[in-house]
Amino acid sequence: MRRLAMGFIPLTDAAVLIAAAERGFSMAEGIEIDLHREVSWANIRDKVNVGLLDGAHMLGPLAIASSLGLGHVRVPLVVPFALNLNGSAITIAKDIYEEMGETGTDLSTALGAAGALGRVVAARRAAGHDPLTFAAVYSFSTHTYLIRHFLKAGGIDPDKDVRLVVIPPPFTAESLRNGLIHGFCVGSPWNSVAVEADVGRIAALGAEIFGWVPEKVLGVHARFVNTEPDLLRRLVRALHAAARWCEDPANHEDLARLLAEPRHLGLPADILRRTLDGRLHTAPGGALRAHPDYLVLNRDNANRPNLDHALWMYSQIVKAGQGEWTADAAREAISVYRPDLFDAAVGPPVPAPRPEPDCVATQFGDVFDPERFLATGE
């Protein structure tokens, strides 16, 4: 039996890793997983880098940025498994959301909410108020790119009209309560935590902004891939079996209770169950905002690392001004994602029952052309 130390941040999309460790899937592959609950994505990155963790629940853009040496020393990371797609939302402080409602704009769509926020920001600027502050969970994260797209859709310049800061997921709702920020983009269940505390309102689901957002992955150091290929294959098989179990709605009640345990997320099981089912309250006891693809843990080949997803994330890094486009960097970003390692463990992908949505802004009109971006950076 091999023991592996695996880090995670308390988020619903850590479900596959937690289930693999706690529901016998890793043991079936001769692996005992020691779960380490971490506070921030920087901690995750650094502990994988120095070998304190064998691997971790990790942001896809973090793995790419670290491998490119952006924002930190270069850390060669590899992604052999995608833990989920989608799963995020944008939450606005209760008082700001009420101001948005006073604009007369329909807040039931992401685009409508973005437009309403734009009107509020413009009115506050005209009145001489300080800029609003919004948070994402890490600079290199899909949450950063989601909130930037949301703001731009409302006519807000994310680099001039507001302040963007980084706050780790477990501290987002409390930061909203304390008035340190006016909104945030984070993975579940922290949007729902803010709603239940009556300090925030969910304005948009990530799946309403982009159709198929690459989110968390299994991130391992390149040395793991090179020195332990058989162990990695067994780990990927265990995660894939756990992902199938997590995706099945028949297991969601058990999974919600598992995630609710204090050593995991330590949050109410009913909140977690709603996030697993993609049915979130936008206000305490209020209307449900539902989306069939709110959180995808296994279906439609979600676990196979997709090279277009890696390239899309690099394109977002470039568009956010976090790095300059080069053809070499684009190819290196793609190389972080390793579908070959996934296929070696679980076999070639089965054709999905429906076409996979593109990484596009479904309501906001941005279309991503992987071949064009790879060739020209545009």
Could you report the per-residue pLDDT of 47-100, keeping only the tens digit for each?
Answer: 999 999 999 999 999 999 999 999 888 989 999 999 999 999 999 999 999 999
**Predicted local confidence at residue 211, as pLDDT:** 81
Residues 6+ apart with CB under 8 A from 55: 4, 6, 7, 48, 218, 219, 220, 221, 224, 235
Would the CATH topology of 2-86+214-267+296-376 be identical to that of 88-209? Answer: yes
Alpha helices in 187-228 (DSSP H): 190-196, 206-209, 222-227
| 191, 89 contact by CB (below 8 A) | yes
**What pLDDT score does 292 carry?**
92
Indicate whether 361 pLDDT > 70. Answer: no
pLDDT band at 366 (very low <50, low <70, confident <90, very high): confident
Of 308, 281, 301, 286, the closest CA to residue 348 belongs to: 301
Q: What is the mean pLDDT of residues 102-107?
A: 94
The CATH number of the domain covering residues in 2-86+214-267+296-376: 3.40.190.10
Place of tokens 């070696």: 344
Q: How far apart are CA 176 and CA 93, in angstroms?
A: 6
CA distances from 327 to 306, 314, 331, 376, 377 (A): 19, 11, 6, 8, 8
88-209: CATH number: 3.40.190.10
Residue 120: partners with Cβ closer than 8 Å, 6 or more residues away: 96, 99, 100, 103
Domains of the chain by residue range = 2-86+214-267+296-376, 88-209
